Structure 1
Amino acid sequence: MSNLADEIVKNLARRQGDRRHQMDAADVDTILQDMNIPTTATKAVPVPLRATRIHFRGTKLLKPSHPDAVGRQPLDIVASAPTEPVTLFDDEPGVLDPPLEDGEQQAVVQLVPVPFNFQWNPQSGVNGIGSGRNLRGKSTILNVLMWSLTGRCARFQPDIKLWIEHVDVDWTVGPERLQVTFEARDGKAAGQVLKLGDIGGPDRTTVLGEFDEVSFEHVMGSLMMPRLHLERIPVWTDALEVIHTWPVYASSFVVRAKQLDPIVGNEQTLGIRMMQMFVGTDWVPAHAAAATAKRGMETTRKTATDKAKTAGETVKALRDTSRQAVDDAKDELARLPVQDTDLKTVLELANRASELSRQVHQLDTRLLAQTELVDTARQQLRAARARAHTQEETALATKFFHRMRPSVCPRCTAEVTAERQAAEPTHHRCSVCTSRLNLEALEADVIVAATVPPATVSALVSGATPSGPDPASAGEQPVDDVEAAAAALAAAQQRTTTMQGQIREISARRDALAAEAEAGRNLLTAANERRTLELRLARAEGALAALDQSGDPAAIDPVDPVRAAVADAAEQVLQKWVKDEQDPLLATISAEIENLADSFGAGNLRNIKLNGSASMSMYKSAAKTTYSGLTDGEKLRLKIATAIALINHGFAANIGRHPGLLVLDSPAAEEMPDADLATMVEALQTVAQGAEMQIFVATRNAGPLLDLLPAANRIVAGDDNYVW
């Protein structure tokens, strides 16, 4: 049984009202082990990590105009398509040509191959890499150093990545001497990690691991983590547990002038964990594991609760939908007619209406013919009346003119004498024109010339003869053309009127039957709709009843409450233990940070306090502020001071996990004049004399390096020269 388990049992016992949490320490130890929470403290003892030799070689490809290319034969080189550069050290940003367009040919350029072979044996303490100008190779040395340490290809310029062909970097890790050696092709490494022996002992080469581009990082982590006594850092991010290992630690060994947050390390989400690891409190790994386990359970529980909430909202929505469906079906049923009918009745009505429609059609056809007869009779009557009128006028005119006794000739106005008029019966001549008269007509008292056609004479005689009954046709009434035509028209009109009445009557009966049939069809449709709606209503009521009976879904807790209680209690206990152990250490470290910041040229900062959340408060002159409120130059000084203080604290007290390796990238890039840089380098030397550490400073302000560092501790290229 562990002390941690005993304390967790006490913590759980104080939680009243929950008997599930009453367990013994042995059970708690079993649960802790199952959740990968350490039950014992991990003593943090720093293990020094030092680079003792940096060697790399390859072939530069330079322009023919480059000073180093003078006197060498150029080669035609096909320019490769560049990739986007990502620069680790900011004083050498990559400059690339734009990518090739579709169909564009790769350019052929003349470059001069110039072999290079760089080797340097950095020392303990402060090592400087300087040049008179930027882009002179400082960052390449640091990139090669970190490439060999992390297994990740540092963010070289694309051309330099192609130049490097072989790398050897020798390291000391605690008492061991290791060498990372590999061949490089286009920035892809393949090689070995060798153990050369122990410090001060004979060379005994042993292969510790082999790697290629894919496995390089893993091999370095598996070798470095146990040797440096570094614990894995579990962190719960979003809905996933992430285990941070060697790359996170290695990145914290570099302080970049343009990546100043967080205060410790370079991973914003891991600032607290990195600080706790480097401060060296014994229970930090256990606390990180407990916090991650607790966060994982909370996330799992929250996910289950969210799912149950979503399911409950879905059930409610379904219930509302079903209730609305029931109401809608009832409303539609209420709007349907209650009468009923059958298909046979509807068909009979439709057939009778169809028969009447047929009769109406026949009558319409007959009416059309009868209408034409009426029009014909009307025209005949009109013609008869016209003929009768003409005959009457002719008869009247004949009588009028035959009874005239003109006294003068109507043409020549010659006098018609009485003697001539009296001589007409005897002389048989017209008293006016002296033409011979028709004797037969004269006997009928009709005066007409003998030259007039017989038909005309007959008509005149007939018209002049008084009408009387014909002895041959005694008993028969004479028929008048006009009267006959009028009678025929009246009869035709009567038949038309009769047929129209029949059509109206039959049409009315037909329309009534059609309306009755349509109403029957509507009732049949309504009956079908009623059956459909009744089925809908039954289904909706069944679904609603099922949803009402099921109730709202409750959240099922997927987390064992006992395990959750143990994880929560463990996190509380360990958090207190870490805080109790860490607070006095942070007070000591904060005082050292303030002294270092003052020596680095930030004397206006006082009362600096690094707290347990990896944040920092202070006074700037008379105003209280925080790390985030400082200028970048002040942040840089404080971040370097914090890293140095953590290293110094660890090696001075023999606690902590920082291996004492620190890389400072271009500290003078942030508003740091030569005088302040010199002050910082001098302060770093003073600190390095009292603690085991190795610091690399890369800067284009080479003056302080030349003035303050021994020749073995510096690589400086003056003027326009290159470091390698």
Structure 2
Amino acid sequence: MSQFARDVVEKLQRASAAKRLVDVTETEVDDLLRAKGVSTTSTVPTPQSLQLTKVRFGGSRRPPLPATNTGPTPTPAGSPFEFDWNPGPGLNGLGSARNLRGKSTVLEVILWALRGTCGVQEDVAKYIDYVDVGFAISGAPIGVEFTVTNDQPVGKVVGGTSPVVQLASFETKSEFAAAMAEVMMPRLQLPTIPTFSSVSGAYEHAWPSYAGALAITVAGLDILIGDHKFGLPARLLQMFIGTPWATTKAQAQTARKSLDAEIAADDERAGIADASRTSHRAAAQASLDAALAALAASPDPLADLAAAEAAVANVQRLSNLIAAAVIQHADLRTRTVAMEAEKTEEQRRQHQLLEDALAVKFFNRHQPTMCPRCTSPVTNDQRKEEAAGHACSVCHEELDLDAFDADLLIASTADETTRRSAIAGAKLVADTSPGSGTDRDAPDDPVDTLTALETAIGKARAQIAAIETNLGRWRDEREQSLALATPANLNASSRRDAELAVARAQGALEALTVPSPAVATGSEHVETMRRHARILTAADDLAGERVTEGQRAALTSIADRVTVLARSFGMDALTKVEITGSPSLKAYKSGVPVNYSRITRGEQLRLKVALAVALLHTADDTGIGRHPGLLLVDSPAAEELAQENVDAMVRALADAVDAVADSQVIIATRNVDLLNDLLDDRHRRIADGDGYLW
């Protein structure tokens, strides 16, 4: 059993009455946590560095189609372009004297290759035909190469140098995103972040959420860490600073919320069922009252009761006769149809026998003069031998004497079926000949079979006619008896119907009064879920306490570093910063606390950059955490920072990044003079004059 399960059991046994479980065991807790995917151990993560080593992309700038175009026009060839850069560690800069010169596009292409999802503006993305971006994860090279075909990325992810190994391939946008998650998550040792929402239920944040936290853009300043709200910034903060038990906390919280939602749904269904049951019970009581009133008002059936009973008995007797006659009638009709079919078959068979026999008789009367096989002549001696010795005059085969007596020539070696058919056909020919004296009473006589069938069919048809006559008579008699029984019977029937209605209404009311087995089973299931919810709540609370305790010192250290960095970025009035695990940031300006959401956009930018750099320092100082050390910052001057503040921020950022091993920051700015002053050629890429970067 795990120590975490023991601690959960202890917490449940010491909890308040509403949350207490005294009969819970460590085995039950361990089994439940395992079933819900909640880790019972905590690991200390080691940072894995991520650096950009190459970014190359190209295509052609295609001019817009003329406004007067009304038919299909080939896509213009445009002017080709290519951007190729190999940035180094530390601070790197992308500069242009004016905005809209391609700086943001370079950062978006880097993120496209990193995340597997495209954030490049649609009109610009149409220019790009190929992308080749290289990364290094703790020194191990990773390459992302793809072309854009029909708006779909088609390419591969490779690793290593000698040899280069293909790690994944993709042909669609969704496959690209999945491939990057599959490659990057395990290599950077990043776990998925489970979460829950009332709309989507339980789901997991993965690589796109981590990668989004590596870029700082104007559009994402409302969020302190990353580019998604709804609890994700807190999870990212915990992961990046390596807070112990953070994964267990996220898993337990998600499992608890999922179970709470399931319980709430069951409670809602049960509430609807209870309301429906109450409504149905009231309706059943009203039905019973109405049935009792109808029974009290029904007449007592006493008049002509004896005559009515006799008529009813006669109706029953006649109904039985009719039912039996109908069955007999159907049986006779079935047998008649079968016999008629048999008669037709017998007629066909006899006709075939007759034709075969006539053919045999016709050919047997011939006197062959030669053998049909070898043309050897048949002599008179051979014919005499046939008559005297009973051997065929042509083939000398011994003849069947019974057939010979019937004036048939059949070899004694012929099969029995052929022999019997030929003899029967010969007799049939004899019977149909004028003046024939053949005995028709012979048991094998085929004509007797046909006669017997015709006789049986006639008898059956006579029986059918007799039954139909009886049925008509019995039905008339039954109608007369029904007419006699109706007046008294109606009263009795009405009384019985009223009594049955009362019985049914009473049964329905009783059924709605006693809980059904299904309701009892559902109640047991809900109670089990409530018990599990208590266990998961205790696990969530316990992990939360450990997370809070584990990150308290780290958050204090990070807040102090953010204060120093933000002041170096030009926030001179800043005296202190407080950061909580939610995460929330409170800036003290001249001693007055102001929440992050209430400060200016320029101040938000500087604090967000300062926090990101502070996370890099924390991972470098402690050797704990999961921040990979890469940061992309887009156009800080866009938030109306004074030029001297931008200069101070970039210079301070360069010093801060240089102090962190294996870190890399790429910043896009219009201050090209500052980039030229701070960075060498490898670490900067600057557009010429008013030109474009690519």
Give the TM-score, by structure 2 length: 0.66
Q: Distance in 2 between matches of 1:327 and 1:125?
A: 89
Q: Which of 131, 144, 153 lines up with 1:167 in the alignment?
A: 131
Deviation, 1:16, is 8.2
Q: Distance in 1 between matches of 2:70 and 2:160?
A: 49
- Corresponding residue for 2:508? 543
Counterparts in 2 of 1:613 and 1:165: CA distance versus 1, 3 Å:
same
Equivalent residue letter for 2:279: A
Q: Deviations over 1:443-481 (max 9, x none)?
A: xxxxxxxxxxxxxxxxxxxxxxxxxxxxxxxxxxxxxxx
Counterparts in 2 of 1:596 and 1:290: CA distance versus 1, 3 Å:
same
1:524-539 to 2 correspondences below 5 Å:
538-539=503-504
- Corresponding residue for 1:483? none
Query: In the alignment, does 2:107 pair up with 1:142?
Result: yes
Q: Distance in 1 between matches of 2:279 and 2:608?
A: 56
- Corresponding residue for 1:116? 81
- Corresponding residue for 1:286? 248
Q: Deviations over 1:39-74 (max 9, x none)?
A: 2212121111000111112222236xxxxxxxxxxx
Equivalent residue letter for 1:116: F
Deviation, 1:221, is 0.9
Q: Which of 530, 535, 538 lines up with 1:569 in the alignment?
A: 538
Deviation, 1:709, is 2.8
Contact preservation (8 Å) 1:664, 1:696 = yes
Deviation, 1:647, is 1.7
Query: In the alignment, does 2:273 pair up with 1:311?
Result: yes
Q: Which of 198, 211, 214 lines up with 1:253 in the alignment?
A: 214
Q: Distance in 1 between matches of 2:21 and 2:245?
A: 29
Q: Secondary structure at the match of 2:281?
A: helix
Q: Distance in 2 between matches of 1:323 and 1:279?
A: 66
Equivalent residue letter for 1:40: T
- Corresponding residue for 1:355? none
Query: In the alignment, does 2:550 pair up with 1:581?
Result: yes
Q: Which of 134, 138, 145 lines up with 1:181 in the alignment?
A: 145
1:225-244 to 2 correspondences below 5 Å:
225-238=185-198, 240-244=201-205
Counterparts in 2 of 1:656 and 1:340: CA distance versus 1, 3 Å:
same
Q: Secondary structure at the match of 2:514?
A: helix
Query: In the alignment, does 2:175 pair up with 1:215?
Result: yes
Q: Distance in 2 between matches of 1:530 and 1:598?
A: 98
**Structure 1: gaps (5+ residues):** 64-76, 80-96, 198-202, 344-523
Q: Distance in 2 between matches of 1:230 and 1:672?
A: 35
- Corresponding residue for 1:51? 52
Equivalent residue letter for 1:306: E
Contact preservation (8 Å) 1:632, 1:670 = yes
Query: In the alignment, does 2:645 pair up with 1:676?
Result: yes
Q: Deviations over 1:319-356 (max 9, x none)?
A: 1222344455667888x79899999xxxxxxxxxxxxx
Q: Which of 211, 225, 229 lines up with 1:268 in the alignment?
A: 229
Q: Percent identity?
A: 34
Q: Distance in 2 between matches of 1:537 and 1:702?
A: 96
Q: Distance in 2 between matches of 1:34 and 1:110?
A: 57
Contact preservation (8 Å) 2:573, 2:589 = yes
Equivalent residue letter for 2:512: L
Counterparts in 2 of 1:594 and 1:106: CA distance versus 1, 3 Å:
farther
Q: Distance in 1 between matches of 2:125 and 2:35?
A: 46
Query: In the alignment, does 2:569 pair up with 1:605?
Result: no
Query: In the alignment, does 2:4 pair up with 1:4?
Result: yes
Deviation, 1:707, is 3.5
Equivalent residue letter for 2:693: V
Q: Distance in 2 between matches of 1:52 and 1:607?
A: 37
Counterparts in 2 of 1:304 and 1:674: CA distance versus 1, 3 Å:
same
Counterparts in 2 of 1:19 and 1:225: CA distance versus 1, 3 Å:
closer
1:457-606 to 2 correspondences below 5 Å:
538-550=503-515, 553=519, 555-558=523-526, 559=528, 563-606=532-575
Q: Which of 163, 174, 189 lines up with 1:204 in the alignment?
A: 163
Q: Distance in 1 between matches of 2:129 and 2:77?
A: 17
Equivalent residue letter for 1:721: G
- Corresponding residue for 2:98? 133
Deviation, 1:195, is 1.4
Q: Distance in 1 between matches of 2:603 and 2:558?
A: 18
Q: Secondary structure at the match of 1:37?
A: coil
Q: Secondary structure at the match of 2:244?
A: coil
Counterparts in 2 of 1:536 and 1:158: CA distance versus 1, 3 Å:
same
Structure 1 window deviating more from structure 2 (660-669 vs 297-306): it is: 297-306
Q: Secondary structure at the match of 1:250?
A: helix
Counterparts in 2 of 1:716 and 1:539: CA distance versus 1, 3 Å:
same
Deviation, 1:192, is 1.6
Q: Secondary structure at the match of 1:53?
A: strand
Q: Distance in 2 between matches of 1:631 and 1:566?
A: 44
Counterparts in 2 of 1:623 and 1:530: CA distance versus 1, 3 Å:
farther
Counterparts in 2 of 1:106 and 1:48: CA distance versus 1, 3 Å:
farther
Counterparts in 2 of 1:19 and 1:287: CA distance versus 1, 3 Å:
closer
Counterparts in 2 of 1:339 and 1:568: CA distance versus 1, 3 Å:
closer
Query: In the alignment, does 2:262 pair up with 1:300?
Result: yes
Equivalent residue letter for 1:118: F
Counterparts in 2 of 1:136 and 1:338: CA distance versus 1, 3 Å:
same
Q: Secondary structure at the match of 2:240?
A: helix
Contact preservation (8 Å) 1:44, 1:655 = yes
Contact preservation (8 Å) 1:304, 1:557 = no
Equivalent residue letter for 1:645: A
Q: Secondary structure at the match of 1:261?
A: coil
Q: Distance in 2 between matches of 1:189 and 1:710?
A: 34
Counterparts in 2 of 1:715 and 1:544: CA distance versus 1, 3 Å:
same
Deviation, 1:257, is 0.9
- Corresponding residue for 2:25? 23
- Say how many residue pairs are matched: 504
**Structure 2: gaps (5+ residues):** 305-488
Q: Deviations over 1:405-446 (max 9, x none)?
A: xxxxxxxxxxxxxxxxxxxxxxxxxxxxxxxxxxxxxxxxxx
Contact preservation (8 Å) 1:20, 1:562 = no
Q: Distance in 2 between matches of 1:61 and 1:316?
A: 72
Q: Deviations over 1:591-628 (max 9, x none)?
A: 11111221222233333111021112233335332112
**RMSD of aligned Cα (Å):** 3.4
